[in-house]
Amino acid sequence: MTKIIDTPYQNNLKIGMAQISPVWLNKEATIDKIKENIVKASNDGCELVVFGEALLPGYPFWVSMTDGAKFNSTVQKEIHAHYIKNSIQIEAGELDDICALAKEHKIAIYIGLMERAQNRGGHSIYCSLVYINSDGEIKSVHRKLQPTYEERLTWAPGDGNGLQVHDLKNFTVGGLNCWENWMPLPRATLYGLGEDLHIAVWPGSDYNTADITRFIARESRSYVVSVSSLMSKKDFPEDTPHLNAILENCPETLANGGSCIAGPDGEWVLPPVIDKEGIITTTIDFNRVLEERQNFDPVGHYSRPDVTKLVVNRERQSTVEIKN
């Protein structure tokens, strides 16, 4: 847990929310865009920059528009294969350039990506939230515990290994993917680990962020930073497999942003920002956390562990355990 050093430098943290669109299902081009925005955030004086859920290389918007539940469909198989090929294998060093930028610019990063997990065979993909510290080290990879609705047709369920928090100046930061933020027990896990700066990443749209961001902030007496991506009909590249089938039922706007920040009292620090691409910045003050914990601390003085207690399994799950 962070040792509190009561100075303006340690108490204040400048955050950049990278509300951008991916170069959809093109991991190389999307990584280049992410790198550009890391540099922009650093130039703006940010000490933490956050990118939305599944931004690298993009959210599976095609599923709901192309009869994604049709079994043994050539369309679904071919788009899914393209998705896998553009997902990220961390063990192969595909985040090395991003880590190097974090170290060069002394900036911490949360990034939502599709992970082609080596320890699960390398052919299924997980919606993962990766934390890279300002030394360029990957400190946690949280695989989304439960993909939501049609996401289950293309994403695999994760495990508890990434339910971790990290010291960042006086703050203790943790994060969850999209509708995981509605799951009370994963939230309680992060609270119990000392979280006071909660990162919630989303594929996009203010209808997701407007209510839950303030709710978590008020429940936890923490800052909550919700970061969403953007996506419009014109953002589908021409080389996308079965593009005509995707565009046939595609709305003009698929994700309108909605990135926002709520304070430890549950009130807006920055209300949802709609249809604006770029780095959205603000500075938060750690003292506000301590002030709001005076009358409510969900895992401290306002808890009863003798009555209710949570058990968490953080073992990284794998199909194979090798014993020599």
Please state, in angstroms and rounded to a whole number, the distance separating the CA atoms of residues 255 and 55.
12
Spatial CB neighbours of 93, under 8 Å, sequence gap ≥ 6: none
Closest CA to 175 of 214, 224, 134: 224
Contact between 231 and 55 under an 8 Å Cβ cutoff? The reply is no
DSSP 213-282: HHHHHHHHTSEEEEEE-EEEGGGS-TTSTTHHHHHHT--SEEEEEEEEEE-TTSSEEEEEEES--EEEEE
Q: How far is CA 219 from the centre of its chain?
A: 20
Contact between 163 and 189 under an 8 Å Cβ cutoff? The reply is yes
> Crossing angle, helix 27-43 and helix 96-105, to 10 degrees?
10
Q: Which residues are catalytic?
A: 53, 144, 178
DSSP 83-99: HHHTSB-GGGTTTHHHH
